[in-house]
């Protein structure tokens, strides 16, 4: 059996051979077996163990076991402890989600500090089936049914093809000692309920359940890849990105998406990574009046004439929010990134750079959003113009108006509609003695 495991790892994951690997180890049979296998293969490995302090002395015994294993095998071992329950309560998360977030965040810190190439976890075929059934009961798209990926960025799961029974049998055959987590026998959590109450019944119906599920998972992953390829192909025709020079947005062409066979399904695939949950509301935006919006935790989707406009939610978009820029400030990064420097003459010129006559401005400057009644004197034009009229002429959407920042003099006169048009009244000229160059970055 050992040759079966070793052969699988060497042949399926040859890219790991000369890399620095960090093994996420709990002390359970799966992660301990993985540690022994990679030690036998002389891979460059270290261990990382999290003590979540959820099982009193048992958690501490797990930590001591891992430390002892590291010493026995001469493997560098990292350990940490978390106040998981406090973290979960503070962040309004379940214990499982909190533990996962704490664990992977810590792994990232170790990887960055010690330059590991990959993090290895010991998920196996039973874990994969449980995840599938959990997602099925909660409701999910196809990607939620494809199971746990073997490779996901720098996370690699080498034992995903093996059942827990095979791993336990290997451990016993090779006299490998491990720690048994007693909480795994409890049905308090949904995963354990599925593990102890659902899967045994399914295995009675089909003793080859894990093998059959493995094949089904492969088929679903292949189907998902076809969908991904299709979405990538149509995205260039339907999506228009970064149209605005002042902030990042993505526009979805309503006419073109409505010409597809199933617009609702395509919208889901295009927007699934932006945390939307009310998919019927998203779909109904296609036929809604301009100005209608749907929000996720992180993004906003706005109907504007012939487009749906996607942008990040910005907590600083309230009209009353005003930021000040003091004299001698050379750079700010909040709420936007501006760089201010004294120059002797103009050099590069574009919509993200302006040159102002320092003697015509009064500090502190103000950074704010537009207000009703705002006027300015657009450069390269004669006379003044209402900002609302300028927005209308430029065909700004509601979202674009909400996200556009104004740089103003201390008396609130507009110096710059940032990223779009400077005001004539503050323009630096060839004979200007004190000239400021102000650059916008996003």
Extents of the domains making up the chain: 2-222, 242-312, 322-441
Confirm if 27 and 35 have CB atoms less than 8 A apart.
no
Query: Tens digits of per-residue pLDDT, 365-390?
Result: 999 999 889 999 999 888 999 999 99
Per-residue tokens: 428: 């630096």
Q: Which CATH number fits domain 242-312: 3.40.50, 3.30.465, 3.30.70, 3.30.310?
A: 3.30.465
Residue with tokens 């004439």: 305
- Count, in order, helices (H) and strands (E) of the chain: 15, 22
When the pLDDT of each residue in the chain is averaged and rounded to a whole number, the result is 91
Per-residue tokens: 110: 């170790």
Q: Which of 24, 17, 10, 13 is CA-nearest to residue 111?
A: 24
With residue 153 as reference, give the H or E element that holds it.
none
> Per CATH, the architecture of 2-222 is what?
3-Layer(aba) Sandwich (3.40)
What is the pLDDT tens value at each position of the chain, 442 positions in all?
788 998 899 999 999 999 999 999 999 999 999 999 999 999 999 999 999 998 889 999 999 999 999 999 999 999 999 999 999 998 888 888 899 999 999 999 999 999 999 999 999 999 999 999 999 998 888 888 988 999 999 999 999 999 999 999 999 999 999 998 777 777 777 888 999 999 999 999 999 999 999 999 999 999 999 999 999 999 989 998 865 545 678 999 999 999 999 999 999 999 998 989 889 999 999 999 988 889 898 899 999 889 999 988 765 544 567 899 999 999 999 889 999 999 988 988 888 999 999 999 999 999 999 988 999 999 988 899 999 999 989 888 777 888 899 999 999 999 999 999 999 999 998 888 899 999 998 7
Per-residue tokens: 173: 């055959």
Confirm if 403 and 419 have CB atoms less than 8 A apart.
no
Phi, psi of 416 (to 5 degrees): -160, 125
Per-residue tokens: 56: 């009193």
- 2-222 with 242-312: one CATH topology? no
Q: Quote the Cα angle for 38-43-44, to 5°.
A: 120
Confirm if 353 and 245 have CB atoms less than 8 A apart.
no
Angle between helices 2-12 and 29-40 (to 10 degrees): 70
10 Å CB burial of residue 329 (0-12, 13-18, 19+) is middle
- Residue-level pLDDT at 246: 57
Q: Could you count the other beta carbons within 10 Å of the beta carbon of residue 139?
A: 7
Q: Which DSSP string corresponds to 44-71?
A: EEEEEEEE---STHHHHHHHHHHHHHHH
Reduced to 3 states (helix: H, G, I; strand: E, B; else coil), residue 386 is strand
Confirm if 110 and 78 have CB atoms less than 8 A apart.
yes
In the chain, the largest separation of any two C-alpha atoms, in whole Å, equals: 89
Query: Cis peptide leading into 335, omega within 30 of 0?
Result: yes
- Residue-level pLDDT at 361: 96
**pTM of the predicted model over 0.75:** no
The number of CA neighbours under 13 Å toward the Cβ of 66 is 27
């Amino acid at each position: 059996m050992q040759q079966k495991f070793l052969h699988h790892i060497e042949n399926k994951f040859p890219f790991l051979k000369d890399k620095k690997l960090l093994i996420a180890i709990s002390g359970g049979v799966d992660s301990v077996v993985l540690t022994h296998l990679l030690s036998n293969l002389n891979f460059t490995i270290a261990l990382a163990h999290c003590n979540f302090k959820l099982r009193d002395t048992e958690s501490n015994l797990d930590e001591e076991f891992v430390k002892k294993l590291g010493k026995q095998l001469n493997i560098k071992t990292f350990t940490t402890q978390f106040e998981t329950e406090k973290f979960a309560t503070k962040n309004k998360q379940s214990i499982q989600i909190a533990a996962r977030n704490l664990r992977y965040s810590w792994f990232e810190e170790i990887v960055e500090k010690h330059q590991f190439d990959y993090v290895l976890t010991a998920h196996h075929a039973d874990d994969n089936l449980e995840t599938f059934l959990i997602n099925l009961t909660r409701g999910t798209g196809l990607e939620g049914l494809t199971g746990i990926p073997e490779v996901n960025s720098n996370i690699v799961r080498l034992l995903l093809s093996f059942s827990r029974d095979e791993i336990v049998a290997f451990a016993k055959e090779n006299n490998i000692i491990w720690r048994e987590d007693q909480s795994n026998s409890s049905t308090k959590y949904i995963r354990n309920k599925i593990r102890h109450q659902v899967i045994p019944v399914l295995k009675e119906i089909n003793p080859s359940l894990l093998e059959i599920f493995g094949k089904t998972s492969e088929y679903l992953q292949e189907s998902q890849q076809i969908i991904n390829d299709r979405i990538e192909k149509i995205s260039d025709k339907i999506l228009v990105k970064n149209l605005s020079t002042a902030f990042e947005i993505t526009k979805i062409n309503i006419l073109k998406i409505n010409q597809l066979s199933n617009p609702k399904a395509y919208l889901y695939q295009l927007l699934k990574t932006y945390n939307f949950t009310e998919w019927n509301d998203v779909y109904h935006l296609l036929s809604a009046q301009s100005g209608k919006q749907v929000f996720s935790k992180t993004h906003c989707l706005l109907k504007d004439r012939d487009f749906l406009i996607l942008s990040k939610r910005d907590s600083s978009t309230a009209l009353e929010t005003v930021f000040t820029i003091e004299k001698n400030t050379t750079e700010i990064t909040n709420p936007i990134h501006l760089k201010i420097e004294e120059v002797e003459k103009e050099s590069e010129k574009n919509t993200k750079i302006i040159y102002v006559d320092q003697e015509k401005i009064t500090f502190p400057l103000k950074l704010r959003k537009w207000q009703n009644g705002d006027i300015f004197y657009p450069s390269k034009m004669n006379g003044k113009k209402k900002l609302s009229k300028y927005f209308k002429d430029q065909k700004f959407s509601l979202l674009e108006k909400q996200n556009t920042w104004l740089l103003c003099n201390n008396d609130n006169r507009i110096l710059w509609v940032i990223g779009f048009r400077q005001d004539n009244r503050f323009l630096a000229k060839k004979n200007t003695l004190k000239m400021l160059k102000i650059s916008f970055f996003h």
